[in-house]
A and B are shown apart, each in its own frame.
Chain A
Amino acid sequence: MRAIPTLKISISGVHGVVGQSLTPKLLTRFAEAFGTHTGSGTIVIGRDPRTSGEMVKHAVVAGLLSTGSRVVDIGVCPVPTVQLQVRHRRAQGGIAITASHNPAEWNALKFIGSSGLFLDAGQARELLDIYHQGEYTKVGGAELRTVEEVEGATDLHIKSILDVLGPLPKTEKKLRVVLDSCNGAGSLVGPKLIEALGAEVIRLNTTPDGSFPRPAEPLPENLGDLCRTVKEHQADIGFAQDMDADRLAIVSEQGEAIGEDYTLVLATLFVLGRQQGPVVANLSTTTAVADVAKKFDCPVFLTKIGEVNVTDAMQLHRAVIGGEGNGGVIYPRINFARDSLVGIALVLHLLAESRKSVTELLADIPRYAIVKEKISCASDRIAGVLRTVRQEFADHQMDTRDGVKVIVPDGWLLVRGSNTEPIIRVVAEARSEERARELVNDVIEKIRL
């Protein structure tokens, strides 16, 4: 069996390679399907700076307008800005044109519901059904509405943050921040936010011209330049965003990339210090989040991997903070979405109010090492692999909601398949990298792949 590697239609939207599978006709039809699904209402659209953004945008606008929808185009902006605008304008939905951390040749459509959240599995299935049926709402002449280009959405985003958190408390010296926006959607709004908060910003990769200065995922191995720049300028902290500015990674004043898991840890530390309440993370997130929550006597709820699962649980439990181990921070008081701008504001406030450095703050929290591996595995073999894991660790505490998570005395490990690629992910956390790697290798051997 041969899968085509360049088109992916799933709950996370429509991903494809420009000039290959991502054709304007496909895009227009999906937009028609979405316009039909949302009942010809108002749809907010925004995009990241990818080179194909303009083409994709026009295809989407054509499809939406043809269904009688009204389109509000907020231009190049972070995905969380689109989500915020959908709620702010009480729109019927939104489309974010971005392929997140995929390489430059990709682009994608991500569909947002009237709640400002991405579509859940049921809604995504409905949308796909409409797409397949091919019967879209078609209006003519008088019922056609317009597309309006709107400026200022990112300014409103900054205002939303400052309205809730306020500017940074005065410190002896202004906080010095290095921001690496990967030339992505955070390039202009990120520095603006940092200055509006009252900190000094040093810009790295803030030219949104469609170029990729580094791989977009803010993993430690991709942040060499940021770490160097933090040390060079003796900055207090470094932030790295991905292409669509929803995920955030942190570099300490020592120039050490602390790991994208710890973004949520620090954000949780700040939020619970102000307001106690439930915390939500996913099964793959570091235990350090739970450690912080315990300090404040707050419950932690872990969910299946995936933003929609996290936001669902956050709504259910009325969580005050949530997110995932990939650097996504969700702070409902400002925006019910993974939001790197909110993350930046929360962490800067933490630094300013605690008057501690990043390293000092981390010293008070257990440090873990997470090792993540992915191994090729055809989708029809995954069930067998998971069964093996369950058998091998039968005498351990297990959570089988998303693959198999096994709690071992000094850490945990998680084995799960992927919906989007023919791989198995093996993740382990322990007190040291050595031990975490040992756990991973042990599992890999046991499942004999």
Chain B
Amino acid sequence: MKPLKIGITGVRGIVGETFTPELAVEFAESFGTYLDRGRILVCRDTRPSGQMIRSAVLAGLLAAGCEVVDLGVCPTPSMQLAVKWLKADGGIAITAGHNPWQWNALKFVRSDGLYLNSTQGEELLDIFHQGEYAKAGSDTIKQQVQTADAIDEHIKVLHENFATGVIRSKKLTVAVDCCNGACSFLSPKWLTKLGCEVLAVNDNPSAPFPHAPEPKPENMAQLRAIVKAGRAAIGFAHDADGERLGIVSDLGDPLSEEMTLAIAAEIRLRKKAGTVVTNVSTSSAVDIIAARHGGSVVRTPVGQAYISEGLIEHNGVLGGEGSGGITVPEVHLTHDSAAAIGLILEHMAQTGERISDLVAGLPRLTILKHNVTVAPHRLYSVLQEFRAVMEQEGLEIDATDGIKVTLADGWVHVRGSNTESMIRIIVEAHEDAAARELLDWARDRIKR
């Protein structure tokens, strides 16, 4: 079977294989039907299949009777903000985020700029499965697609939420790798507005992805070189659509993507105690940090919609995931790498602290991640079998999302991916050796 993921977070697949234009057309019709033919925004990242999927989405939305506003290529968080100020009923982001360039996906956003929650995702899927869509006749169909720019307004909102004046006064040297993705239109502009000397690399949206669009250390070699050569105070790595952020320190150290949340939590909680919302698969470092500052941590299943809802429910001061996605609630309740950049640079400017020093004071745990490819129809069975093994061994199970077990020297979390056909194993311990042992232990207990 070829990889195709249709679920509550949308539809995702490889273009040229399972992600066909008809699929995109029908999902767009479904969404238009779900939102009662309202005003819907469309944006995309820089993947080569973006144009083709865009046309399919526009056709589906128009056919369902929607009023369509095309934002062109822009980061997903820019579109999510635009849904609010353009008073739209929803939006579709055509982007597969951190997946390789052959992939594309549709992500669905509702009128408050948040992703559909799991109930809403199911309702949308029901419409898709039913196959009966709203259909506009020639007398009501919209004759043209409108356009709008979401980037400048996004920068305006960011500007209002951080101590921009202070940041400008420091004239920080900042390196940024936009991965030739949608952030090419946003980040250099935002950093310039912050008065930084910008060392931008891979900021050409017409060029292919220079590396996998995931801000992990293995993809940060180029950024690291620029940080060192340019003596930058910090380096930022983007994914393809502006949700996740990776960091290279002033010493040229590419940090694990888990560190982004740890850094953000430390910065935030130093200023005011509060609740940090994260998922069950993220490092325990954030718990240690919260405890230090009299804050607390709430853990949800993996997926942005849960983080957003958790922030609302618990009045959280920060959201984030071990993947590098950070939510700064006062900007918007979804991941926004540009907001994370604002938060971090604001701290550096206000305190003069170097990022490497801040990192040195953070708890160092070892987190190991391993993916096991599983046939799509076996994903659930494999998880159930693992659960049975855990129960047999008498371990207490946290079933918030997949199976998480806490052991003497760390924890193990096993879950199916929402976006690819694989089982993700994540283990954490205080030391490398212990972590490796945990990983082996977990792998031994997974039967494909």
Contact = CB atoms under 8 A, between A and B. Distances in A.
Interface string B128-157: 000000011111111111000000000000
Contacts of B252: none
B358 interface: no
B145 A62 contact: no
| Most-contacted residue by chain A among B48, B56, B59, B208 (CB, 10 A) | B59
Interface stretch (B18-26, B82-90, B164-172, B295-303): B18-26
Contacts of A107: 138
B71 interface: no
A65 B58 contact: no
B101 interface: yes
Given A50-B138, A140-B49, A62 B143 contact: no
B222 interface: no
A210 B144 CA distance: 11
A255 interface: no
B234 interface: no
Contacts of A63: 21
A62 B59 contact: yes
B391 interface: no
A59 B56 contact: yes
Interface string B284-325: 000000000000000000000000000000000000000000
A59 B55 contact: yes
Contact of A141 (B101, B136, B145): B101
| Most-contacted residue by chain B among A24, A29, A57 (CB, 10 A) | A24
Contacts of B62: 24, 54-55, 58
Nearest to B135: A19
B22 A18 contact: no
Interface residues of B, number: 38
Contacts of A28: 21-22, 25, 56, 59
A61 B51 CA distance: 9
B49 A141 contact: yes
A20 B138 CA distance: 10
Interface residues of A, number: 41
Interface string A147-160: 10000000000000
Interface of B: 14-17, 20-22, 24-26, 29, 47-49, 51-53, 55-56, 58-60, 62-63, 101-102, 135-145, 208
Contacts of B16: 138-141, 143-144
Contact of A24 (B29, B53, B208): B29
Given A51-B138, A140-B49, A144-B49, A65 B55 contact: yes
Contact of B143 (A19, A54, A106): A54
A53 interface: yes
Contacts of A105: 137-139
Nearest to B136: A19
Contacts of A58: 55-56, 58-59, 62, 145
A17 B143 CA distance: 16
B56 A18 contact: no
A140 B15 contact: yes
Interface of A: 17-20, 23-25, 27-29, 32, 50-59, 61-63, 65-66, 104-107, 138-144, 146-147, 209-210
21 contacts: A17-B137, A18-B136, A19-B63, A20-B137, A23-B63, A25-B22, A25-B25, A32-B22, A52-B141, A54-B142, A55-B58, A55-B63, A62-B24, A62-B52, A62-B55, A66-B20, A66-B21, A105-B138, A139-B16, A140-B17, A141-B101
Contacts of B142: 54
A24 B55 contact: no
Contacts of B47: 141
Given A24-B25, A141-B15, A66 B145 contact: no
| Most-contacted residue by chain A among B47, B53, B56 (CB, 10 A) | B56
A135 B48 CA distance: 22
A209 B102 CA distance: 39
Given A51-B143, A59-B25, A140-B14, A65 B138 contact: no
Contacts of B135: 18-20, 23
A32 B141 contact: no
A73 to B, nearest CB: 10
Given A53-B143, A138-B17, 6 more contacts: A27-B59, A28-B25, A28-B56, A61-B52, A62-B24, A144-B15
